[in-house]
Structure 1
Amino acid sequence: MNALAIGLDRARYETRVYFRQGDTILFTFLFPIIMLTIFSVAFSSAGDIGTRPDGSGGVTPAAFYLPGMIAAGILLSGVQNLAVDIAVERGDGTLKRLAGTPLPVVSYFIGKLGQVFATSVLQVILLILIAHFAFSVDLPTSADKWFSFVWIYVLGMITSAVLGIALSRVPRSGKSATAVIIPIVLVLQFVSGVYLQFSMLPDWLQNVASVFPLKWIAQGTRSVFLPAGFASQEQGGDWNLAGVAIALGIWFVVGVAAALATFRWIRKDT
């Protein structure tokens, strides 16, 4: 209980620090919101996406890109934010200093996860509110849809967070963290149906994207916010929420194992 209390206090501290960093706010917190606004305005004159030959069906660009931006936000908040943040703290000696304090490792991670969830939930709320009130996007009215969204979000967020912790070991220094992590995250967004309609990608690239968790997070969020007819554009022709849960569950286990195996307060080579 003491470790939990310390962790929650640490989460409040981490959240305050997060909102004091202008670059982090721009490229992690505001980036999906900015991209949703750009896509919604830029493609507003192109007509609805997914319209049938008879002119029926389809959704506005804002409605189409909303689930993708939510999925991107989950990846940015978990993978990019934690991978860069922890790598920088290792490089500037913060982890070394923390190792000399009574702070339990579990409290450190509770603090990181608390910050990630607090900022990500606020980001998702803002995305949904902007889409609904600024671009007139209809939101789900079914309790089942919102229940699906909650478990997809929580599982996707936890999975992204542990993968971010594991990836923090990849950069050789804190200074190189951004240059190493951001390209990985950016490529995943382009091949996972965030910026491009997933069915537009060649089959081999869809298969590659299916190996990684973002594709499944984006597919899950699309199942919540897009009409049922869009399921035909997914691999296999349906939303496959069971596959979403299995894929994210596997990646969560992989992420936890990798984080436990690689995380150290101090690099072995320093």
Structure 2
Amino acid sequence: MFQFTEEQIKRYARHIILPEVGGQGQEKLLKSKVLVIGAGGLGSPALFYLVAAGVGKVGIVDYDVVDFSNLQRQILHNTDRVGVPKVESAKQTLKALNPDVEIVTYNQMVNKDNIMDLIKDYDVILDGTDNFPTRFLINDACYFAGKKLVSAAMLRFEGQCTVFDFTDKENSPCYRCLFPEPPPPGMVPSCQEAGILGSIGGIMGCIQATEAIKVLLGIGEPLIGKLLIMDALSMDFRKVKLRKDPECPLCGKEPKIKELIEYDHTCEARF
């Protein structure tokens, strides 16, 4: 039987008293593994709450360094770490928060040659990236690997989140059911061009962490087959159904995509 230390009982007390979590649920979290791709505006809050929750192993993938322009929303980092690789900055912050958690860093760009190795040992993948080519690559890789994927996006004052459960490929839609192909370059502005309210990343990243924890614990109703859309200016939240597209080039009845595709990164956008 799993034995919590005295410190763990104190640290996770507010989880343990929840009937939906309890000691067994906290033990499950401590034995779980989550990979977060992107340590930026979405990844920062998601990582904070996953590590605070006691997810036993958390992987962080990012190839960028901390920049002053990141600090308005990427709360894992600080002014003293400008120029430091984001994965190193993230690890420093997260180890100080919860030394219980094993933090594994991957200071590299995700591509079709490494993504299957990156995701293979993790239970749930979080997509916190900021461009269409990487989003499609993560979706396709998780589909082929049969992984659960929590995907979020943001732009200006808006955010969205959904969950794809590729352990059940027959029933779960995929990202390509929503967007079969990336839009043409320049069609959708990036955050650099259109801007982003920093707290939007906080909201959506926290939702990602919550959905991942629900999936790991097997509780509640994750956003599988549903797209949560937030408009912060009106503070409206709405959910729309995501249906599996029988013509989807990846998960449809006659799939055309049977191996990973790497798109040109000139196509930068969120939605």
Normalising by the residue count of structure 2, what TM-score does the alignment of the two structures yield? 0.29
Rg bigger for which structure? Answer: 1
Q: Greater share of helix residues, 1 or 2? A: 1
